[in-house]
Amino acid sequence: MAPSPPGNRRTRVHVVSDVHGNARDLARAGEGADALICLGDLVLFLDYADHSRGIFPDLFGTENADRIVELRTARRFEEAREFGARLWAGIGTDRASAIEKAVRKQYAELFAAFPTPTYATYGNVDMPPLWAEYAGPGTTVLDGERVEIGGRVFGFVGGGLRTPMRTPYEISDEEYAAKIEAVGEVDVLCTHIPPEVPELVYDTVARRFERGSRALLDAIRRTRPRYALFGHVHQPLVRRMRIGATECVNVGHFAGSGRPWALEW
């Protein structure tokens, strides 16, 4: 990481989201920056581009991963849940314990890759109760909170809204809205999920609308931050657009690109 900027030197921040197990590139993501921001989804449960990667194929094999991706892509979520339940019953392993063990292995590697300083919030596939065990002194975890970086105020809201996918950190619309409200007016609003705008929530590869937040959209219109940064949608129809005075940016699917998005002022 670059040293803290003295006097009026410009500040540079790198932003990543949807890391999904890419520890190798994460270790380099802060190079040349004064700070790294991570907007969540560290865990790789199942790679939709390479079905051989992730917790699911490690436990059940690539062929079964192919099948569950096929069902989910077709939005046959109930069939996907039933298929998954049969797989778990077949191996006779406690599901929660097996997943937590695999997540812990990934977290140990990923948190060790974070540079200092890193400011991070949770994604919808993350397990927040475990983060305190792995976040070192150089990593600040924020959710519904604010921090000042280089003279600008950044607000952070983690997690996703409830969906048929039932990922680990999905919360109610009301709880999410309360965290947005707690952040208040900031210069840069950092969230895992995008505002509820069709062009920002539609995934062109998965061919479906992901869940965005109406409360987030309302807050952007009301408080007019300079930037609203987010991830979650891996291949969005539009990666960047203005909402009033705010530049809204999908900072990218870091697992696939390996490149951070840079903000400098």
Place of tokens 């105020």: 153
User: Residue 125: what pLDDT?
Assistant: 95
The percentage of the chain sitting over the pLDDT mark of 90, rounded to a whole number, equals 78
Residue 228 lies in a domain: yes
**pLDDT value at residue 72:** 86
Average pLDDT taken over every residue of the chain: 93
Residue position matching structure tokens 């920002």: 200
Tell me whether residue 137 is in a domain.
yes
| pLDDT tens, position by position, 193-243 | 999 999 999 999 888 899 999 999 999 999 999 999 999 999 999 999 999
Any domain includes 172 = yes
With respect to residue 234, please indicate whether it lies within any of the assigned structural domains: yes
In a domain, 121, yes or no: yes
Per-residue pLDDT tens over the stretch 136-189: 999 999 999 999 999 999 999 999 999 988 899 999 999 999 999 999 999 999
Q: Write the pLDDT tens digit of every residue in 75-132.
A: 898 999 899 889 988 776 677 888 899 999 999 999 999 999 999 999 999 999 999 9
Residue in 265, 252, 116 with CA at minimum distance from that of residue 188: 265
Domain that holds residue 143: 12-43+117-257
Answer yes or no: is 96 within a domain: no
CATH number at 182 reads 3.60.21.10
Flag whether 194 is in a domain. yes
244-265: per-residue pLDDT in tens? 999 999 999 999 999 999 999 9
| Predicted pLDDT of residue 95 | 77
Amino acid 216: pLDDT: 98
Q: Which residues of 194-232 are buried (b: 16+ CB within 10 A; e: fewer)?
A: bbbbeebbbbeebeeebbbbebbbebbeebebebbbbbb
Task: Output the pLDDT for position 114.
Answer: 98
Q: Are 223 and 188 in contact (CB under 8 A)?
A: no
Residue 220 near residue 184, CB atoms below 8 Å: no
pLDDT for the residue numbered 99: 87
Inside any domain, residue 229: yes
- Count of structural domains, the chain: 1
